[in-house]
Amino acid sequence: MAPVNSYPVEVAYAPSSQEQCLLTVQVPAGCTIAYAIRQSGILTLYPKLELTTLQVGIFGKRSQLDTTVAQGDRIEIYRDLVVDPKTARKKRTNK
């Protein structure tokens, strides 16, 4: 049973366009994104992820690791871009 002052949040990560991971974790009220990521176990599932260098957000809005999460938030871990979006758009336009 979860502590009284806790609530669920989701931690989402897509290591590739073909693979997605969405974990739900129960966290205490007032916790940070970093805490929720650690609690989710995603760092164990994807050992190449380094917590201190992650780019993260909540529902598509960039955030810092020390941002407080709210009930029902979806924490997103962003991967590095393979191609710059401007370059990709230019290539599509030239075709």
Structure tokens at 15: 């290591």
Q: What is the mean pLDDT of residues 4-8?
A: 88
Of the listed ranges 12-21, 32-41, 82-91, the one predicted with least confidence: 82-91
- In the prediction, which pLDDT does 87 show? 73
Question: Which residue, among 53, 45, 41, has the nearest Cα to 78 in the 3D structure?
Answer: 53
Please name the fold of domain 6-94: Ubiquitin-like (UB roll) (3.10.20)
Residue 52: pLDDT band by 50, 70, 90 thresholds? very high
| Model confidence pLDDT, tens digit, residues 55-91 | 999 999 999 999 999 999 999 999 876 666 677 677 7
Among 78, 80, 75, 1, smallest CA distance to 35 is for 75
How much is the pLDDT for 92?
77
